[in-house]
A and B are shown apart, each in its own frame.
Chain A
Amino acid sequence: MKHRSLALLPPLIAIAAALLLWEIAVRAMNVPAYLLPPPSRVAVALWDDRAALAMSTMRTASATLAGFLIAAVLGIVIGSLLSTSRRLERGLYPLTLLFQMVPLVAIAPLLVIWLGNGIRTVIASSAVVAIFPVIANTLSGLRSADPHLDELFTLHHATRWQRWFKLGLPSAVPSMLTGCRIAAGLATIGAVVGEFVAGFGGASAPLGIVIMTSLREFRTEKVFAAVALASLVGFALFGIVNGAAHVAARRYAA
């Protein structure tokens, strides 16, 4: 336990130093708060609106989680399907690449037309940007199974399912989790961009709407507060995936 808390020290010191430098620089150079607020003002904004911001964070977090889960499950399924045949992979993999290349900001308004306003569009936006790393990493993980074992499975007339579950999966789990780690951050970005175009306003508006509203009201410190909370959602999801990775690593440890 002592080891782990010591490991947290360097990043915490770095963050504190960066915040301090930011605070001093903004104050020393008299930068107006509507251009760049000092972190102390961001902290005050966080505290002043804590109740509303907590609600907003919950809304963004639930959409992010849903988008991430869809991306993780669909990504693993699609990656697994593609791994069953080289021809399928060659034919469809470029299509899945589209998810990576698509400029989300441009298609987000279309998602609204297709799915309507509200959480469905936000979740879809989140899933669309998060799915590709899961597909790609699942595929490469399944492909990396020991070729000797692969021959052994063929020798014993293993079914496709047995091959996937007993051979592919154990070797692919680490890369699947890597894909999920990348997807965790992307899912948050996707959700916030989705909220820009499809989030409902009102008392418990999600973080994307809080960012837009605060921008328009020149409350830059609240923009930073909402952005910090959105990052926190991403970090939390990343932490959960990491935790799952630890459990899986113990289970599938060779």
Chain B
Amino acid sequence: MSRILRIAFTIMACWVLAGCRDASPSEPAPSTIRLQLNWVPEPEFGGIYAADAAGFFRDEGLQVEIIKGGPGVAAPQLAASGRVEFAVVGGEQILTLGEAGGELVGIYAIYQDDPMAVMVHATSPFASLEELWKSDATVACEANLSWVTMLNEKFGGASLKIVPHGGSIALFAADSNLAQQCFVFAEPVALEMQGVATKVFLVKESGFNPYNGVIATSAAYAKANPETCAKVRRALQRGWERYLKDPAPTNAVMAAMNPAMTKEAMDIAAKRQQPLIESPDTERLGLGAMTAERWSNTAQQLQRLGKITTLPAPEEIFLWGTSAPR
């Protein structure tokens, strides 16, 4: 390699690496706020698209760009590193990424109860997670999940076979003995529409019930822009209120963006997810609410399972209280 090439390469490498730096609070706020989804447009983001369509972000003086996600999108890292201002992440991810040095702060929790579930075919002999976990069945799920470890502790699970979960329902449909992880309102609905009946067991029955669908931002951004965070939260609350009342118009918008899910399936899913979105806490504190008690509980469980070593102070991982209760 010639010397010039070598120098050019070094400069290029430095430039690429420089882009990997942590978001610094001193950076001027960009005019457009990017909100990264962790999956394709589906009812789990219904309130976000409803807020966008109804102009609730605009009402707050914000210009928000919703970025679609999909399998493999690294939403937590994107938000923690400041590539996007906000991202939808799992509550558990805020804690585990924190352990790895990425600081995220949750500002809104779509799901008060975790929609994570395990589905089996309707013809399956298993009637509960406990029965399934004490059997030698094959379960397609991501390896080393916290709730899997939790269930193993509770029910044994030594003869259970855990196989990878590629996110496809074709495999499940083809094998009547397979159990598979799912979101309670997503895959089972899609399967029903293909004529495959299922039984679904919510994972929260295991006792592990983190917030999910959490809109999070980097700690640096939350510190520098508390006003923007409050505005985003307000717009999300109005969006979700609207979506819960009448999901159909937003579902039509999302179905156009996601050919894999019909509007009909989205209408069913929207109805099924509602009990996970509304809770006594949201009655009291407003939609999207989070409490220090719930966060501490999840953190302690993760610590006990060996997923994290240090317990963060709740105020470091979530922001709530700047918005008035309903």
Contact = CB atoms under 8 A, between A and B. Distances in A.
A205 B93 CA distance: 22
Which of under 10, 10 to 19, 20 to 34, or 35 or more describes the interface residues of A?
Answer: 20 to 34
A103 to B, nearest CB: 14
Task: Label chain B's interface by main secondary structure.
Answer: mixed
Interface in A147-203: 195-202
B99 interface: yes
Nearest to B174: A113
Contacts of B21: 29-31
A202 B162 contact: yes
A212 B143 contact: yes
B144 interface: yes
B163 A113 contact: no
B163 A198 contact: yes
B170 A213 contact: no
A109 B101 contact: no
Interface in B159-187: 161-164, 166, 168, 170-171, 174-175
A26 interface: yes
A130 interface: no
Given A109-B170, A109-B171, A201-B143, A26 B17 contact: yes
Interface in A210-229: 212-213, 216-220
Interface string B72-96: 0000110011000000000001001
Nearest to B102: A34
A112 interface: yes
Nearest to A31: B20
B142 to A, nearest CB: 6
Contacts of A32: 20, 22, 80-81, 101-102
Given A34-B97, A196-B164, A201-B163, A29 B171 contact: no
Contacts of B166: 109, 112, 196-197
A112 B161 CA distance: 15
B174 A205 contact: no
Contact of B76 (A26, A31, A218, A219): A218
Nearest to B138: A117
A205 B143 CA distance: 9
A117 B168 contact: no
Contacts of A102: none
A98 to B, nearest CB: 21
Contact of B144 (A25, A30, A217): A217
A34 B80 CA distance: 10
Nearest to A221: B100
Contacts of B144: 201, 213, 216-217
Nearest to A202: B162
A112 B171 contact: yes
B14 interface: yes
Nearest to A30: B21
User: Which of A21, A33, A112, A202 has its CB near the most chain B CB atoms (within 10 A)?
Assistant: A112
B233 to A, nearest CB: 25
Nearest to A18: B13
B324 interface: no
A127 B224 CA distance: 54
B238 interface: no
Contact of B168 (A36, A109, A200, A212): A109
A25 B97 CA distance: 23
Given A30-B21, A109-B171, A113-B174, A200 B163 contact: yes
A198 B164 CA distance: 6
Nearest to B76: A218
B5 interface: no
A7 interface: no
Interface in B114-172: 138, 142-144, 161-164, 166, 168, 170-171
B301 to A, nearest CB: 15
Contact of A35 (B77, B138, B161): B77
A41 to B, nearest CB: 11
The 10 A-B residue pairs whose C-beta atoms are closest, nearest first, are A201-B143, A218-B100, A117-B163, A34-B100, A201-B162, A213-B144, A213-B143, A31-B20, A34-B102, A35-B20
Interface of A: 21, 25-26, 29-36, 109, 112-113, 117-118, 195-202, 205, 209, 212-213, 216-220
Given A21-B10, A216-B142, 9 more contacts: A29-B14, A33-B100, A34-B100, A34-B101, A117-B163, A201-B143, A217-B144, A218-B96, A218-B99
27 contacts: A25-B13, A29-B17, A29-B20, A30-B22, A31-B17, A31-B20, A32-B22, A32-B81, A33-B101, A34-B77, A34-B102, A35-B77, A109-B166, A112-B171, A117-B138, A195-B164, A198-B163, A198-B164, A200-B161, A200-B162, A200-B163, A201-B162, A209-B143, A212-B143, A213-B143, A218-B76, A218-B96
